[in-house]
Structure 1
Amino acid sequence: MRRRLDLKIAVTRAWNSVPAALQIVVAVVASYAFSHYVLGHSVPLLSITVAISSLGFGRDARPRRVFDSVVGILVGILFSELLFTLLGSGVWQIALILFLTFVIARLASPSSAFAAAAGIQSMMVMLLPDPDGGVLTRSVDGLVGGVIALLVTALVPRDPRALARRDAGRLLSTLAESFESLLDGLRTGDEAAASLAVTRLRRTQPLLDDWSAALDSALSIARISPFLRRHLPALRHQARVLQGLDLAARHLRVMDRRVSFLLRDGASRPQLAELLGEVAAGITVLGESIDDPVRAKEAAAIFERIAPRLDPAVIMPGAPVTETIIVLLTRPLVVDLLVASGRSGDDARALLPAV
């Protein structure tokens, strides 16, 4: 069973990497062809390695990230070539140039992979035979690889929308499981179920971070790519939903901890379960609006029905303070979800009753 699961994960990982692999292959072929056939360089190795290192297989495919990688690697190549010209080759020159390249790379980027790539490029400069045309020919090859990597990012882009949707689906699934546990706890008075909801909600932050990174990458690429620009409105809607669900997850973590404490007496709270069940239904519809933005209006309608009732005296007249606090915590949660559904903050707050 475990082998089957590992194999499925490996196949999924390989399949999801196909767009990035195709993009890198296009960049490598174009870089090699330009350096070899147009510029006449017999072995344009650095044009290929710069294209591969700049694009890579990371989740972050933003043009700005590619540009930063290209600039950093090119600076490393040029710096190595200048020092090689001044100092010559040898063991101590290799050690000095590699050390200085690492320092410059760490100044340019926090990525350890980036520093390793810059170090590899500098060692190629030091160890490969001098090309025809002089040492600086390799800098030209690196520039060709970098420029083509940037062009490919715009003209043959990866489409990170699918990755963003997958990340969104994982988050929504975790939120749904958390709500299920929370509602079970409130209906049955089971503290363990509410505690399970707290545990599940702790897993939401990495999911939010992954979704945010993928969505940021999708937005950045769509702004410069003529083929993906038409998707900008949908991506901006997704960004609004992400912001709302991020705030909702934070509210729910606080709320779940209070509910877990509240249920230590073993008593059920069906009124709170009904209220939060409506919120959960609204979040489900809001999540569906990622693929169908029209559903955002339906989600807003659900939250608009909930907001005017968020007065503890109306929902739970005579309830103790420990229970009314849960209702009060639901107020900012619903406001944030209304904003994520497309309402303005002022309009959302205006729906809340005075307490």
Structure 2
Amino acid sequence: MFLGCRGWVPCGADRAALTVAPSAGTASGFDVRQALFRVRSSFPAVVQIVVAAGAAYSIARFGLGHAAPVLAVTVTISSLGFARDARPRRVLENAVGVVIGIALSELLLLVIGKGIWQDGVVLFAALVIARFFSTSSAFAVAAATQSMFVMLLPDPAGGPFTRSLDGLVGGVIALLITALVPRDPLGLARADATRLFAELQPAFESLVRALRHDDVRQADAALDRLRATQPLLDDWAATLETARSISRLSPFLRRRLPVVESEARILRYLDLAVRNLRVVTRRIDTGIGDGRRRPEVADVVASIGVAVGVLGESFASVERRPVAQEALSAVGRRLDPALVLPGAAVGETVLVLMLRPLVIDLLMATGLPHDEARARLASL
């Protein structure tokens, strides 16, 4: 995959395959492929919300006899939502908070009645309390919306706190559906990983070109790409935390927990590696532009790029992980300034030394303990 065009750089269809959701924007700026990607990635959440809303409505309508269980449905939808963080704890906290807001609104309705100023009092109280108990602005908006349903909809036939019971039904159903009809958190996590590796590949390309051709613009491009990877790392971390929580709760996903833990380890050390790579790239960015080419260091960086690409492939094919490990070990055995840049000035050899922690982090991402990863580097 990496040995076709120029050294390790992917070409043609291989490069296209690295892109998760390639751009196909129109003149208006609407990206059809990105839109289709959003729909496809959100499909499990759509199914989950539809099933949960139907179940909540059926229980409240036919089981409890409530004629219009609006809040049972709306609480279910707001508790699940499309948030990346779909952990059962978050769903529970959201549901409990909204149900308490509904109950408080019904209590205030009994005390102060209905009217314009009463609506303002209830809305003010719901927003203040929601902001006090949660850092999520979406949660505050959901709680305020439910409180307005209580104040503005006609009083239910079941009497006071009927809507609180509907909200409780919605919250319980949301939590049960999270466990019994779970989304595909591991699939989402792997999509996040694919997006990250798809960004790392062109960053390595730019670094190699910068070193081979003394091209400051390529180094700038690599640094910009690497800085932009932090949100991708954060997304991946959030999705894996959701996958871990749901796998512990759901009887259908519990067997996948070891896989989730393994990928969380990869993320932990890959995050460190990317941070190290940003430092190395910054050093390259400030050090080149002097008219000198650095093909020896470029070869080492290219080899690391090959190994990182193989590590990315291991998410779809686990047997590729030992291949990545061996490729990184081969790079590590070369990371001696005397081997890479014999007779070079100290300022030049520092860059080779800076690559050593990066390779250690990547080796640990493949599953090696720290001492063994360090032992695979050239002795200094």
TM-score, normalisation: structure 1: 0.95
1:1-355 to 2 correspondences below 5 Å: 1-2=26-27, 6-355=31-380
Offset, 1:226: 1.7
| SS of residue in 2 equivalent to 1:2 | coil
**Secondary structure in structure 2 of the residue aligned to 1:265:** coil
Stretch moving more, 311-320 or 102-111: 311-320
Question: Which stretch shows the higher mean deviation, 220-229 or 332-341?
Answer: 220-229
Contact 1:300 1:338 in 2 (8 A): yes
Q: Deviations over 1:159-192 (max 9, x none)?
A: 1223222221121111110100110111122222
Deviation at 1:354, TM superposition (A): 4.4
1-structure distance, mates of 2:334, 2:40:
48
Q: Is the 8 A contact 1:241 1:286 kept in 2?
A: no
Deviations 1:235-286 (A, max 9, x none): 2222122122211111111111111222121211111111111111111111
CA distance in 1, matches of 2:322, 2:47: 38
CA contact (8 A) 1:23 1:157 kept: yes
Measured in 1, the distance between the counterparts of 2:181 and 2:191 equals 22
User: 1:113 Cα shift?
Assistant: 1.4
Q: Say how many residue pairs are matched.
A: 355
Determine if contact 1:190/1:266 at 8 Å carries over to the other structure. no
Q: Which has the higher helix share?
A: 1
Alpha-carbon contact 2:314-2:320 (below 8 Å) kept: yes
Conserved? CA contact 1:27–1:149, under 8 Å: yes
SS of match in other structure, 1:83: helix
Local SS of the residue matching 2:125: helix
Question: Measured at CA, do residues 183 and 147 of structure 1 come closer, stay the same or move farther in structure 2, by a change above 3 Å?
Answer: same
Measured against aligned partners, the alpha-carbon deviations of 1:7-63 in whole angstroms (never above 9, x if no partner) come to: 333233233322211111111111111111111111111111100110112222111
Are the equivalent residues in 2 in contact too, given 1:311–1:327 (CA < 8 A)? Answer: yes
Seq. identity, %? 53
Moved more, 215-224 or 263-272: 215-224
CA contact (8 A) 2:329 2:377 kept: no
- Is the 2:203–2:221 Cα contact (8 Å) retained in structure 1? yes
Contact 1:234 1:293 (8 Å CA) reproduced:
no
Check whether the contact 2:102–2:167 (CA below 8 A) recurs between aligned residues.
yes
Please list every run of 5 or more consecutive structure 1 residues that lacks an aligned counterpart in the other structure: none
2:11 aligned partner: none
TM-score, structure 2 normalization: 0.89
Output the CA distance in 2 between the equivalents of 1:106 and 1:132. 32
Deviations 1:318-348 (A, max 9, x none): 2112221111111111111111100001221
Gaps of 5+ in 2: 1-25
Residue 283 of structure 1 aligns to a residue whose secondary structure is helix
Q: Give, as a single letter, the amino acid of the residue that structure 1 aligns with 2:208.
A: L
CA distance in 1 between counterparts of 2:199 and 2:65 reads 56
Residues 222-245 of structure 1 deviation map (CA, whole Å, 9 limit, x = unaligned)? 221122222222222221221222
* In structure 1, C-alpha distance between the alignment counterparts of 2:221 and 2:151, rounded to whole Å: 57
Measured in 1, the distance between the counterparts of 2:41 and 2:379 equals 50
The answer as to whether partners of 1:46 and 1:145 remain within 8 angstroms in 2 is yes
* Whole-Å separation in 2 of the counterparts to 1:318 and 1:241: 37
Checking the alignment, whether the CA contact within 8 Å between 1:335 and 1:348 is kept in structure 2 is yes
Cα contact 1:48–1:145 (8 A) shared by 2: yes
